[in-house]
Amino acid sequence: MEKKNGNSCILAITAYLLALGFVLAFASPTLSSASNMFPGFIKWHVYIVNGLGNNQNLLAHCKSADDDVGIQNLSPGSNFTWSFRTDFTHSTLFWCYVRKDNASASFNVFWYDDRLFQKCDWKKCIWSARDEGIYLTNFDEDVDDLYYQWDAGE
C-alpha cells in the first residue's frame, strides 16, 4: 500500500514536470534555458559554407538515415542550409560528403551532444570547407574549430 502511494506520487510529480516542460517550451520559445533543457524542441539549422580559395567549387551531399538533403554545388563563398528537429530517441545524425579539386572528406555535421549544441549556440551549426580543412563555427568561444582534414582524391 505504501509502495503504491509512493509510485503514484512519483507519477504525479513526473506528469507535473512534463507539463511544466511543455508549457515552458511552447509558451516561451525565447526563454533559452527552456530550450537548453529540451533540445528536442529546438529547430536546428546546419550550414555548409564554401570557404575555399582559388575560386573552387564545392560539391556537398548531406543526409541522415531518414533524409537526403540532396547534392549541392556551391560556388565560392556561397552556402546552403537545411533545418530539422531531433527525434526523441536522441539518435538524429546528419553527415556530409564534400569534394573540392583533388580532395574530399566525409564527416558528421550533427549528432546528439551537449558540447556540440553549445558550440552551435543551440540553433545553428555552421561548417565551413576551407583549404586547410573543415571548420565548425564555435559560438561558445567565438573561434572556428578545425574538425576534419581533407582526404587526397575522391
Could you list the residues that contact ligand NAG (CB under 6 A)?
47, 49, 54, 79, 101-102, 126
DSSP, collapsed to helix, strand or coil, labels residue 154 as coil
Cβ proximity to ligand NAG: between 54 and 89 the closer is: 54
Alpha carbon distance 24, 34 (integer Å): 6
Supply the minimum distance, in Å, between the C-beta of residue 36 and ligand NAG: 22
Cβ proximity to ligand NAG: between 87 and 132 the closer is: 132
Alpha carbon distance 24, 145 (integer Å): 33
Cβ proximity to ligand NAG: between 126 and 129 the closer is: 126
Cβ proximity to ligand NAG: between 64 and 79 the closer is: 79
Cα 117 from chain centroid (whole Å)? 7
Supply the minimum distance, in Å, between the C-beta of residue 78 and ligand NAG: 6
CB 128 within 8 A of CB 44: no
What does the block give as the cell for 36? Answer: 537548453
Supply the minimum distance, in Å, between the C-beta of residue 67 and ligand NAG: 20
Supply the minimum distance, in Å, between the C-beta of residue 121 and ligand NAG: 12
Alpha carbon distance 6, 2 (integer Å): 6
